[in-house]
Every structure is written in C-alpha cells, then in structure tokens.
Amino acid sequence: MEEKKTLWGEFKKGIIDTNPLLVLMVGLCSSLAVSTRVENCIFMGVAVIFVLTCSNVIIALIRKFIPDQIRIPIFIVVIASFVTIVDLTLKTMPAVYERLGVWIPLIVVNCIILARAEGYASRNEVRYAAMDGLGIGLGYLLVLLVMSVFRELFGTGKIVLFDTTVLDLKTKSAPVILIMFPGAFITYALLSALLQWYQLRRKRFKGGESE
Amino acid sequence: MNEAWRYFLVFFGAALVSNILLIRFIGLCPFFGVSDSLETSLGMSISVIFVMTMASSVSWIAWNLVLEPLGVGEFLYIPAFILIIASLVQFVEMVIKKTSPPLYRAMGIYLPLITTNCAVFAAATESVKPGFFTKLNIAYHYGFLEAVVYSVGIAVGFSLVLIFFAAIRERLKDAPIPKFFRGVPIAFITAALFSLAFMGFAGMFNL
C-alpha cells in the first residue's frame, strides 16, 4: 500500500480495512439494535455519517487550540451539539423517531465518533478528517445494511421499505428469532466468522503455509 | 402495591427483565472488550456499579432542580448528562487515587473507559425519563430513591451478565472450535444463547 496520503485513500480505508464495526469493533450497540429493519438502518447510518463528518471537521479545525488535558470534554461537547441537531431534526418525523429515537441520543456515546475524534481528527488536516468521517460512516452504513437485509429478509420473509414491499420470499414460517434479540448476535457472529474465514484463506494463499 | 414491592419490581425489571446488555444492546463495547478474563470483568463491574449509581443520582438532581425548572431539558440534556458523567468520572478517579491506592489499582484503568460506556449515559437518561429506552413503565416519573434503585438494578444486571460471560469465555479458550469461529464469532454465539435465556424473564410480574 502506498505511504502517501490521498483523499481517496483516506475515504476508502474506512469501508474495508478499518471498518468500524467488523475490524475496529466499535459502535456495536446501535448496530445490533437498529438492524431489525432496513429502513431504520438507512436513517441511523445517515445520522452517524452526518455527526461523524461534522464533528471530525470541527475538531480538525480547532485542533491547534485545544489544550491537551481537557481535549476529551471538548470533543464530547462538539459531538453532543451535532447529536442534538440530529435529535431535534428527527423529532419532526414521529414515526421514525418512535422506532429509532432512543438510539439517536446514544450516538453521543457511540465509541466510533469519539475514537475518530481522538485518534484521527485531532491530528490531521481538515480535508483528510472530512474524508475519514465519510469513509468510516459509509463503512458503518454498509455493514448495517448487510445485517438488516439478512435479518429482515429471513426474519420476516420480506423487505418493506417506506411502506412498499421491495422483496417477498412468500414464506409462511420465517424464523422470527432473527429479528429478535438473539438474532442480532447470531447475525453479527456469522458476519465476523465470514470475515475471519476470508482472512485466513487470504493468508494461506499469500504465505503458502499450511496450518 | 406496597412500597418495598414496588422498589423490588423496579430493581428486578432493570436487572433481569430488560437486561441492559442482552435485551437492549446497550454497553456492548466494554462487554466484549473486557470479558475475556474473569479478573478484569470483576474490576469493571465494581467500577460500573459505582459510577452508574453516582451518575444517575447527579443527573436526576440536575434534571429535576436545574434543567426542568428552566425549561431547557429537552435540548440540553445530552450535553449536560455527558458532561456530568465525564467530570464525575474524572473526579472519582482523582479521589480514589488520593485516598485508596489499592482500590485505584483495581479500578483505575476502567474509569476512563466508563466515560464512553453508553450504559452509563442510558442509565442516567432513563432515571429521569423512565421508559425512554424501553416501552416499559412509560409515562411514569421516578422519585429520587426509585431512580437510584433503578440505576443500581441496571448496574447489577450488567455486572451479572459480564461476570457469567467472562467465566464462560475462559472455558471457551480450551474448547475445540472451528478455526474461523474462534475469538469474536464464538463470543457472539454465546451471547446469543445467553440472550435467548434472558428472554425467559420477559413477562414476569407483568413487567
């Protein structure tokens, strides 16, 4: 991989190499809880991308003025303001807020955002920080979509998006467990086993070692 | 319903029926982070019980005496609570460091982690707005003592699951598991079975 930082490279790495959910393992709570429906995931993903990108940009802008000892409280205040914006905006859509509302305030303590503020935005230029926010946010959204498509499709037998049925399996005995609490854990376990299997296989191809 | 029974129900509901980790998926990051050894999960549990109870009490006071009378609760509660938690954690850390070095050695490294533990924030928000994160007990206002009992309940539920889970994970290290399921995936499968068991509490006492 090239050493030189490019905007595209910073954007791309968040999607696969440092995917927040599968590789860094941060921000799990919200992803497991909202992935029961594809629709929820779209709103949640967009909210996270917004908060992450905006707070990354602001923190990168003021990074030279932040005293080191109180940086965490400052990051948190910046993040909390953007979360409040999202929280109040989503309140105008009662149906969405009903299902998702509880997770919106929790974005403020979502480890992804604080981890990116601390680990990336506070020591990089604004444009890289913005691309990093977009990339990591998109990585989050993509994993969320994969999980929710799997859970909604097999848990209820069909995918309903904005009141229209997109896909229907025409089954009468869908395993409801997938959209209940244990289903979230099972889905994530399968996804991460898949990733581990892929990494092991790639390592074997490259190194040629048998073990 | 007499007084003691009501407190018991609040506690029971918070600890088991709507267990914060397995039924509500709040606080999972530290859960999978520290649960690979029994010792660290004990340290984490003690710190969480301590911080969560204090944070909820202070948040309850802040909400009922400052934010709500001034009418700014709705749009200031997020920054207010998170600042309360962050400063409280910092304060507790300093006090423990000065007064009790052994306790600091046991809890010290977990305290900064707790600031971003969503479970603490959720407990603080819930103790002033019951039913905010669940559909239970909705439209009901907790008194101070109830809020404290509620947050202790959440913390006990958290610790209980964390310690059980750590014990299981220690045994899993020697188990013959398919290679690509080792580590994280098997931990999640275990959590799924755990969660299935906890669903059995749902509906007890009409909670």
Which residues 36-95 of chain A have a CB within 8 Å of chain B? 72-73, 76-77, 80-81, 83-84, 87-88
A80 pLDDT band, cuts 50/70/90, is confident
Note the pLDDT tens digit of each residue in B60-113. Answer: 888 888 877 787 766 777 788 888 888 888 787 788 788 877 777 766 666 766
Whether A86 is in a domain gets the answer: yes
Whether A210 is in a domain gets the answer: no
Residue-number span of the structural domain to which B89 is assigned = 15-201
Whether B3 is in a domain gets the answer: no
Average pLDDT over residues A10-29: 74
Whether A87 is in a domain gets the answer: yes
CB contact under 8 A, A28 and B79: no
Whether B6 is in a domain gets the answer: no
Please tell me what DSSP assigns to residue B107: H
Q: How far apart, in whole angstroms, are the C-alpha atoms of residue A41 and residue A18? A: 20
Whether A79 is in a domain gets the answer: yes
Residue B137: predicted pLDDT: 40
Name the residue with higher pLDDT: B166 or B36: B166
B203 pLDDT band, cuts 50/70/90, is low
Kindly state whether B202 is in contact with chain A, defined as any CB-CB distance less than 8 angstroms.
no
Residue B109: predicted pLDDT: 64
User: Do the beta carbons of residue B136 and residue B154 sit within 8 Å?
Assistant: no
Does A170 have pLDDT greater than 60?
A: yes
Residue-number span of the structural domain to which A40 is assigned = 7-148
Whether B206 is in a domain gets the answer: no
Whether B71 is in a domain gets the answer: yes
Interface test with A, best of B23, B52, B138, B188 (most A CBs within 10 A): B188
Provide the domain count of chain B: 1
Indicate if the alpha-carbon torsion angle B124, B127, B128, B132 is positive or negative.
positive
Enumerate the residues of chain B whose CB falls inside 8 A of the CB of residue A25. Answer: 29, 32-33, 184
Q: Which tokens hold the place of A28?
A: 């799990």
Enumerate the residues of chain A whose CB falls inside 8 A of the CB of residue B28. Answer: 28-29, 32
A2 pLDDT band, cuts 50/70/90, is very low
Whether B185 is in a domain gets the answer: yes
Whether A124 is in a domain gets the answer: yes
Provide the domain count of chain A: 1
Average pLDDT, chain A: 79
User: Do the beta carbons of residue B152 and residue B53 sit within 8 Å?
Assistant: yes
Whether A60 is in a domain gets the answer: yes
CA distance B134 to chain A (A): 8
Residue B71: predicted pLDDT: 74
Q: How far apart, in whole angstroms, are the C-alpha atoms of residue B179 and residue A200? A: 9
CB contact under 8 A, B79 and A181: no
Range with the lowest mean pLDDT among A14-23, A152-161, B137-146, B163-172?
B137-146
Residue B115: predicted pLDDT: 67
